[in-house]
Structure 1
């Protein structure tokens, strides 16, 4: 279970976060992890492609990729479990086998699968945390890559091996790589959450630093104006 609920956070805790933010000198972004690009990347295909990543709360992961050039849509949702239990209340119990995940539709002629992986491992989450991410705990917050085909699995596996060999992290990567059985979009109130709630304490402390790190480490891939679900136009 999560240590602090994002949607039902006690009023006292919220007040404490708001108060501490008011008196903090400035928002300090999380330490960014500089990592090399993948030595092995996917071939450039025609048409819009799909990548699905899980790295803790989907609000932040979605926000990062909505600010990534070449991404035509990024949807928060659930992967790894059945359609019958693919809803927030059930997934939050941690017993449905789902992970909070983000389905990323992208133009491979503008951004490669390998580049998306580099951003995922560098700024979107910490791939060395097992069944948790920041304040959120449970298997629904695990680090995972759900692959759409054999090539994606090959690229992801090779990149994890490359990063572990280079010892860019203090601990081994725990990200699981496996074939996608199904992706189910999350409830409407979860979509575009970072953009719609930029002053929410959870977003301020856990997710906005990720956007700043994306801008700092990947300036050529950074979009100032996010591509939102509410306005995305996906064509294959």
Structure 2
């Protein structure tokens, strides 16, 4: 486990203690403590459906999204009906630098990303984009997400073909024109980039570490937002990497 990951745990354990003290002092702060502080992960809102989408075809398709720490993005899409698998990994750089330690330097070109394998007859690429922009992360943040800063935490879409690139580009323009966000969308479209799976200890991280302070404050609220905004697509039992490996 890297020093950066250990730092996350130490930092947010201390921050959680400070929140408890503050809640005790002001009174009536229990809900605030349980949900954590206002953050990009919690400022979720419904967004319009994509006006353009990819027609469903037989067989599974893949999508690759980056939006901050891959723990929470993976966890969100693991709860989406029609998704067959979600793998945390790296996209944007080379195979030689596709490791957690190297990516965390911010100098590899990689972003923490997830590869989603899905059945387009159950959930479309456009619908995955809708979930990505509304609950998986804040697409207007530049240079990181929430407490995580650096290009490795950027908002980026890595289309697998020209159709995905076109739908994603059109959807970003649609959302910007709609005014649903108060700031322009910062998400980049990065073509022709290979996805590399992350180390085993990063897979299913939210499921395996439900009480970790960073997870409680920043990642689990995203799953609640998915349930609230997409009840018809939400499934209680997540599809796990460990299930497919067993």
Give me the whole-angstrom Cα distance separating, in 1, the residues matched to 2:219 and 2:78. Answer: 13
2:13 paired with 1:28: no
2:201 paired with 1:196: no
Which residue is equivalent to 2:157?
145
Q: Which protein is richer in helix relative to its size?
A: 2
Give the SS at the match of 2:224: helix
Give me the whole-angstrom Cα distance separating, in 2, the residues matched to 1:89 and 1:201. Answer: 21
Q: Point out where structure 2 has 5 or more consecutive residues left out of the alignment.
A: 24-28, 37-41
Which residue is equivalent to 1:45?
57
> Cα deviation per residue 1:75-104 (whole Å; 9 max; x = unaligned)?
000000000010000000000000000000
Give me the whole-angstrom Cα distance separating, in 1, the residues matched to 2:141 and 2:157. Answer: 14
The aligned length equals 230
Normalised TM-score (structure 1): 0.92
Which residue is equivalent to 1:175?
187
2:77 counterpart (42, 65, 69): 65
2:111 paired with 1:99: yes
Which residue is equivalent to 1:161?
173
Q: Report if the CA contact (8 A) 2:12-2:214 is conserved.
A: no
Shift of 1:33: 1.2
Q: Report if the CA contact (8 A) 1:53-1:101 is conserved.
A: yes
Which residue is equivalent to 1:129?
141
Which residue is equivalent to 1:220?
232
Q: Point out where structure 1 has 5 or more consecutive residues left out of the alignment.
A: none
Change (3 A) 1:197 1:42: same
Q: Quick check: 89-98 or 42-51, which moved more?
A: 42-51
Runs (4 or more) in structure 1 with deviation over 4 Å come to 21-24
> Cα deviation per residue 1:183-208 (whole Å; 9 max; x = unaligned)?
10000000000111111000000011
Give me the whole-angstrom Cα distance separating, in 2, the residues matched to 1:155 and 1:88. Answer: 30
Which residue is equivalent to 2:13?
14
Shift of 1:19: 5.8
Give me the whole-angstrom Cα distance separating, in 1, the residues matched to 2:92 and 2:164. Answer: 17
Q: Report if the CA contact (8 A) 1:52-1:101 is conserved.
A: yes
Give the SS at the match of 1:45: coil
